[in-house]
Amino acid sequence: MDSLTQIVLGASVGEAILGKKVGNKAMLWGAIAGTIPDLDVVSKLFVDTITANELHRGFSHSILFSLLAAPIFGWLISKIYTLKEATWKDWSKLMFWGLFTHPLLDAFTTWGTQLFWPLNYKVSFKNIFVVDPVYTFPFLTCLLIALFYKRTHPKRERTNMLGIYISSGYLIITLGLKWYTYQKFQSSLENQGINYKEIQTKPTPLNSILWSANVETQHSFLIGHYSLFDKSDTIQFLEFPKNHHLLKEMKSDPLIPRLIQLSDGWYTIENKDNKLLFNDLRFGQLGIGTEANRFVFSYELSYDSKGKLIAKESERNPGEAAPLLKNLFKRILGN
């Protein structure tokens, strides 16, 4: 999830664990714990883009990391405060849940997380977008209200827990919406006589009303959208040829299997403006329907001066955001 959500989640969890004993310090250290797992992004300063993407949401997002790091951080925090309102075990418990709830929430997103590192498997339920205001707002609102009460006031705990219950309830609702929309995609494919191998569904940015489906067929991938406000159950799918044959001799390079594993096999190869692109389909396109002109994650494949195959991630223009969001919200309202 986005940084704000993880900070708020960490702060709420910290308050729930240790708020009565240490007051606002629990929120502070919970918020800090909620950001620590994402420090793995600093790997981009030292390694290439592909390696950094492979490392992201790896060890630092695992149960093992939470178990190992929590007592260390707990001990350090216990040495900071001389009044000893809380013990080393108390701080360790707070840090564990602050650290662990971060990857636990990430497991519900499209990217997923290696909860069971070192096993090379990412848990990904794909039922909530990485930025969803409906999930974050109750947390943030209740947390801010709770700050106005003294740490021993019963309303402080109840208000904080209310935010946790509302947001957790919404997360469960999105699982139901995922199941419902999956049935819609499946029925539409069958009614149109489209033979397919696999379907992956996920919500579109900032909401859980408009859902997207990636569908694998023998020679291509299909992408379609369905809104809960759609009047018709017939879904239009856009087709994208796999074009895996365009890799030619590149396919034998060790970099290609890494890209394929990174994309979980959901990729197309595209020859665009004399550039060979590796498109990761898991995160969809920048835009909706025929107006979209490229994928969110795309890598330009080329050889450097030493003959080494490299993959450069395509840059995204921030100026594209406004018109894309306008089209997104228009599509949310139905077809």
Cβ proximity of 234 and 191 under 8 Å: yes
Mark 232-264 as b/e (b = at least 16 C-beta within 10 Å).
eeebebeebebbeebbeebeeeebbeebbebbe
Exposed, middle or buried, 280 (CB in 10 Å: 0-12/13-18/19+)?
Answer: buried
The residue extents of the domains of the chain are 3-174, 192-335
**In the chain, pLDDT over 70 holds for what percent of residues?**
99
List alpha helices for the chain, DSSP H. 3-22, 24-35, 49-55, 63-80, 88-106, 133-146, 154-191, 255-262, 321-332
pLDDT for 44: 87
DSSP letter, residue 195: -
Q: How confident is the model at residue 319 (pLDDT cuts 50, 70, 90)?
A: low
User: Taking all residues of the chain, what is their mean pLDDT, rounded to a whole number?
Assistant: 94
Residue 332 corresponds to which tokens in the numbers above?
């949310």
Q: How buried is residue 29: exposed, middle or buried, by Cβ count under 10 Å (0-12/13-18/19+)?
A: buried
pLDDT band at 64 (very low <50, low <70, confident <90, very high): very high
pLDDT tier for residue 325 given thresholds of 50, 70 and 90? confident
Six-digit token string for 109 = 């997103």
> Going by C-beta distance under 8 Å and a sequence separation of 6 or more, which residues neighbour residue 29?
14, 77, 91, 94, 95, 98
Instruction: Using the predicted structure, report yes or no on whether residue 3 has a pLDDT greater than 80.
Output: yes
Candidate from 36-40, 214-218, 270-274 with smallest mean pLDDT: 270-274
- How is residue 66 annotated by DSSP? H
**What pLDDT was estimated at residue 314?**
87
Residue 36 and residue 32: Cα distance in Å, rounded? 6
More confident residue, 274 or 242: 242
Mean pLDDT computed over 203-211: 96
Instruction: Say what the pLDDT of residue 293 is.
Output: 78
The tens digit of pLDDT for each residue in 242-268 reads 999 999 999 999 999 999 999 999 999
Higher pLDDT among residues 291 and 159, named by residue = 159
| pLDDT tier at 289, thresholds 50, 70, 90 | confident
